[in-house]
Structure 1
């Protein structure tokens, strides 16, 4: 859950360029050429799909909304017509066998486990026959509690408090009265929060919950995880369910025993509830500050076969690190042309990931 930083090129410019290439037919020619010359693996990263009539009134993190329902359907129809969607385990089997990936191979993934994945995404994928992997936080599936980072955004958007004071983040200011300014402040707080270690992150959020009387124990329909019954239905329909940790904690920020508990506990829960081996992982947040060599080693030792990062890029079979697979984040602003252009020219049309290692 860590949308990539925007580059200096405005989304409107990317969108117009993508739409121009798409409508002119140039993308199809480029796609055919690239498909045979560059057999790299493209992994799409989604979070939420929601039909928001009034996005500005949404009380949670808009950066996590990857597409509208109509937009998502058009994207999947494009994959169905012009690309080769495969399961991640199918790709791994081909790589293990030394086989060349089919031209235009694409893997669809979702992070976190919001219930809109079941309500809106699952029916579209099942109807169109598009495989996908859903990485879920098992502790949230167990409890039904909202996700902590998203709850921080929600609290800043909805609190009646007159100021925001978080000394650990260097924030002390009057609370803005307009919604756009609050969203910007919430994103600033969230970005700074992720620089803290895991214990301090949890303490900051818990303190604000208590001070503002906005406890996460109160379930909210707009920030609700899937249930095990829903996941079992999706798994029975052929969709892959992988781990996103237990409590959506940045693994590199945890001491060793908590890191191992996140990896092993989530895998055990998936296998217990779904009755199948769980060997796929997506690192929570997933940028270069969220996992490191220690996390990769622990992931491998916990029995996972592959893990996805949230670092933007594609993967070449011979050099791909299966425990740090790059992905292409899908953004809410993307129309059909931009989406198609990103898949065809990912280096130009996707958002670059900003390094957070310091």
Structure 2
């Protein structure tokens, strides 16, 4: 174990002891923690993602230690009413893959945790599947051993002779493509498919299948919330005004048609601070949304109205020591110290 990890483990163990945990939770009672999840592990489909057994372990610990498991709408509504939900923890799951409903939904339901599932509406309609998923599929399927590819501002020159190299190449393209409009990304995906000598299926293959609207309704019936995540998972800051409006409101309209009580909290695709702007926030406010979650790390502070449309989320970790670093609040106090130094 490295010195850094040893210090972190010791710090978390200290905060986990009953006296320290009680004090930390009291000091952090005005802060809410929102976790962000994506794919769930499914060995039969070779999906690498969150281990459902670990998720259940975390939910069990939160219930045992009497955290309040709430939805992001609960957090927003409390803040609008000038209220505080002490020791609130919420979970969000982005995109709308089938494993979200089949695996994640069962875990959250078993622990009475009202997670919010954010859906890419054209994906759920089975009219489209996300460009980042297509890129991963292309690299998983290619037999090409090397690539020297360029399309606009995107380029890649590397060996693909091995699973690790193909995975790294896919991640590099996906990351760089966050700076593109959806039209540019679609053209790049077609170009990449030609370079890798792989045909893109019209519908997502089994590893990348979406949940259905029936699945979404079942999730809602079990206590989950369903929210909007655009029509085609675009980086909103890269879109023009009509496209941004259509992506946001078109997704929300589709969800309103298909579930009874859609979340009024939007989820920005990609979600970094540079991936959305004031125009998008204005569209949300005019469209009757009450808030929005980003992927910027941090805690939501009750009483701070400026955070309502930039709500921070923590990526769900895969180790218990990291999970406790968030839930026992040493990470919160570290961020407060950093802010005071600045």
TM range (shorter): 0.7 to 0.9
What is the match of residue 270 of structure 1? 255
> Which of residues 202, 205, 208 is equivalent to 1:220?
205
Contact kept? 2:34, 2:314, Cα under 8 Å: yes
Structure 1 137/29 Cα, relative in aligned 2: closer, same or farther at 3 Å? farther
Structure 1 281/23 Cα, relative in aligned 2: closer, same or farther at 3 Å? same
Cα deviation, 1:168-205, whole Å, max 9, x if unaligned, reads: 34524243201112222222222211122332122101
- Residues in 1 aligned to 2:333 and 2:303: alpha-carbon distance in whole angstroms: 22
What is the match of residue 40 of structure 1? 31
> Which of residues 281, 290, 296 is equivalent to 1:311?
296
Structure 1 253/31 Cα, relative in aligned 2: closer, same or farther at 3 Å? farther
> Which of residues 287, 296, 299 is equivalent to 2:272?
287
What is the match of residue 4 of structure 1? none
Q: How many residues align?
A: 329
What is the match of residue 117 of structure 1? 100
Give the SS at the match of 2:207. Answer: coil
Structure 1 30/203 Cα, relative in aligned 2: closer, same or farther at 3 Å? farther
User: Offset at 1:93?
Assistant: 2.2
What is the match of residue 339 of structure 2? none
- Residues in 1 aligned to 2:151 and 2:219: alpha-carbon distance in whole angstroms: 43
TM-score, structure 1 length as denominator? 0.84
User: Offset at 1:22?
Assistant: 5.2
TM-score, structure 2 length as denominator? 0.88
- Residues in 2 aligned to 1:248 and 1:178: alpha-carbon distance in whole angstroms: 29
Give the SS at the match of 1:160. Answer: coil
Cα deviation, 1:203-238, whole Å, max 9, x if unaligned, reads: 101222355332141431111111000001111122
Structure 1 278/322 Cα, relative in aligned 2: closer, same or farther at 3 Å? same
Gaps of 5+ in 2: 336-342
Cα deviation, 1:213-270, whole Å, max 9, x if unaligned, reads: 3214143111111100000111112211000111111111111111111111111111
Structure 1 188/80 Cα, relative in aligned 2: closer, same or farther at 3 Å? same
> Which of residues 28, 40, 43 is equivalent to 1:49?
40
Structure 1 166/85 Cα, relative in aligned 2: closer, same or farther at 3 Å? same
Contact kept? 1:52, 1:68, Cα under 8 Å: no
User: Offset at 1:29?
Assistant: 3.7
- Residues in 2 aligned to 1:15 and 1:37: alpha-carbon distance in whole angstroms: 25
Give the SS at the match of 2:296. Answer: strand
Contact kept? 1:252, 1:290, Cα under 8 Å: yes
User: Offset at 1:34?
Assistant: 2.2
Give the SS at the match of 1:173. Answer: strand
Structure 1 278/328 Cα, relative in aligned 2: closer, same or farther at 3 Å? closer
- Residues in 1 aligned to 2:3 and 2:205: alpha-carbon distance in whole angstroms: 36
Superposed counterparts of 1:242-253, under 5 Å: 242-253=227-238
User: Offset at 1:303?
Assistant: 1.7
- Residues in 2 aligned to 1:279 and 1:154: alpha-carbon distance in whole angstroms: 33
Q: Which has the higher contact order (CA 8 A, sep 6+)?
A: 1
- Residues in 1 aligned to 2:80 and 2:156: alpha-carbon distance in whole angstroms: 53
Contact kept? 2:227, 2:262, Cα under 8 Å: no
Gaps of 5+ in 1: 1-9, 351-358
User: Offset at 1:336?
Assistant: 1.9
User: Offset at 1:14?
Assistant: 6.7
